Structure 1
Amino acid sequence: MNREELLPVLFTIKYYGRAGRYQLSRMLNLGEGKVRNILRRLREQGFIEVKRGGSKLTKKGEEYLDNIFKGLGIKKIAVLYNKEEYFKDMIIVCAHLKAYEVKNVIDLRDEAVRNGAEGALIGIIVDDSIFLPPDIGYLKDYFPLLEKKVKEVFEIKEGEVVIITFSKKYNKALIGCLAVIKKFSELS
C-alpha cells in the first residue's frame, strides 16, 4: 500500500478522533475489505490502536502523519462547513500550505476535479486576505463567510497558500484537496 492510499484514512482518523471500519468505509467510499487491510497495516506498523469504539492514531501515527504533512508543505487541513448558498450542500476540505509560487491555477483546479472534487479555489495570502489568482480577486468579495471561517481555523501569513476543495461527498473533497497538494509538492 502506498502513501496515497494511507493518507485519507490517517487524516480521517486524526480529524474525527476515532473512526470505525464501517464509518471509514462509508466516509471514504472504500470497500470494507480495503479498509480492513489498510487498518491492519496501520496497526502492524504501530500507527493506530484498534478498540471496540474504532481506530485511533497512536503517538507514532501522529508523528508519521505530521512528517507526511511537513514533507508536503501542509501546515494544517480542516473540514469546513459554510452557510453561503453556493456551498449549502457541500463539504469543504481546506488545506493551509507554506508559501509556494502559484503558477497555473487552472491546472491545479483541474487536478482537484479530476480527482473527484466538484470545484476548487486556490488562494494566496495577500495583505491578510485570500487572493484568488491569476486575477479573480479576493475570496471575501465572493464568499465572505468562507474567508472568515478560514481565518478562524488557520493562522495565515503573507505568501502562504490556501486550497479549498468542495463536493457533496467528503471523500471526493478530501481526495481532490490531497491531489492538489501533491501537485504543488511536485512543482516545488
Structure 2
Amino acid sequence: MDTEDSLIIMLTLRLRGRMGRYHLVDLLGIGEGVIKDRLRELKESGLIQTSRSGSILTNDGVRELNKSLSGYGIVNIQEVDLTPVFGRKYNYCVMGGLVKWSSGISIIELRDIGVKNGGDAVLIMHVNCTSVDIPLTDLTIEKFSLELASRIKSTYPCGTYVIAVCGRTLYYSLRGLIEIAKAVSMVQLNHGLN
C-alpha cells in the first residue's frame, strides 16, 4: 500500500463498513478526486470490492490493513466518544493501543505530533491492572467515566499505552493516531527496541 490516504480509506471502511465515494468524501474531508483515485488503486490491487452500494474491504484488504497497522505497532483502532474527558463533543475521535512502548518516548512530543497532523485533542492513557491512568497527571479515566474506563480495560491489556485523537474530520483523527504510532516505532528502531 503506497499512500497514507489509502491506509486511512481502508481503515475507515473497516470502522464504518460498506461506504460510497461521496460519503467517504464527506466523512474524511478530502477531495473527491483523491478518494476516486485511491479507490480505483485499491480496487485494482484487490484490496477493496466496489458495487453500486459502495466499497468494502476484501479479505486481502483486511490482511494488508492489519499488516500495515502492525508495522506501525498499533492495534484495536476504534471510534470513541471522549466527551466525558474533554467536556465537549468532538465528532470524530479514534483510539488505538500501542504494541510497544519505551521509557525514552516523550508523551508531550507524541501529543504534539498528533496535533501537528490534524488532531484537535490528543489523549495518551496507560492501562494498568486497576485503572486507566493519564500520564503526567494524577488523573484516571475512571474519574471521568467508569464506562469508558471499562471499555478501554476490556479492549487493551494491562500495561498498554492507548492513544486517542479527536479531529475535525475522521481523516485527521486517523492521521494523527497513525503519525503518533509511526513516531513511537521510529524511537524503538533508533534505540534497537524491536
Normalised to the residue count of structure 2, the TM-score between the two structures is 0.86
Distance in 2, matches of 1:113 and 1:143, equals 24
Residue 164 of structure 1 aligns to a residue whose secondary structure is: strand
Residue 118 of structure 1 aligns to a residue whose secondary structure is: strand
State the partner residue of 2:2.
2
- What does 1:1-150 correspond to in 2, within 5 Å? 2-82=2-82, 84=84, 86-102=87-103, 103-150=105-152
Number of corresponding residues? 186
State the partner residue of 2:191.
none
Change (3 A) 1:82 1:106: closer
Within the alignment, does 1:166 sit opposite 2:150 as a pair?
no
Q: Deviations over 1:78-116 (max 9, x none)?
A: 011245271434422011221312521000011111111
Distance in 2, matches of 1:64 and 1:77, equals 15
How far apart are 1:55 and its partner, in Å?
0.5
Residue 99 of structure 1 aligns to a residue whose secondary structure is: coil
CA contact (8 A) 1:124 1:161 kept: yes
Higher deviation after alignment, 159-168 or 79-88: 79-88
Distance in 2, matches of 1:129 and 1:47, equals 39
How far apart are 1:143 and its partner, in Å?
4.5
Q: Deviations over 1:127-146 (max 9, x none)?
A: 24222223443222344443
Instruction: Give the percent of matched residue pairs that are identical in Structure 1 and Structure 2.
Output: 29
How far apart are 1:168 and its partner, in Å?
4.0
Q: Structure 1: which 5+ runs fail to align?
A: none
CA contact (8 A) 1:82 1:145 kept: no
Q: Structure 2: which 5+ runs fail to align?
A: 189-194
Normalised to the residue count of structure 1, the TM-score between the two structures is 0.89
Residue 96 of structure 1 aligns to a residue whose secondary structure is: strand
- Structure with the bigger percentage of strand: 1
Q: 1:122 is aligned with what amino acid? A: I
CA contact (8 A) 2:49 2:57 kept: yes
State the partner residue of 1:181.
181
Distance in 2, matches of 1:107 and 1:48, equals 35
CA contact (8 A) 1:116 1:173 kept: yes
CA contact (8 A) 1:72 1:182 kept: yes
CA RMSD of aligned residues (A): 2.0
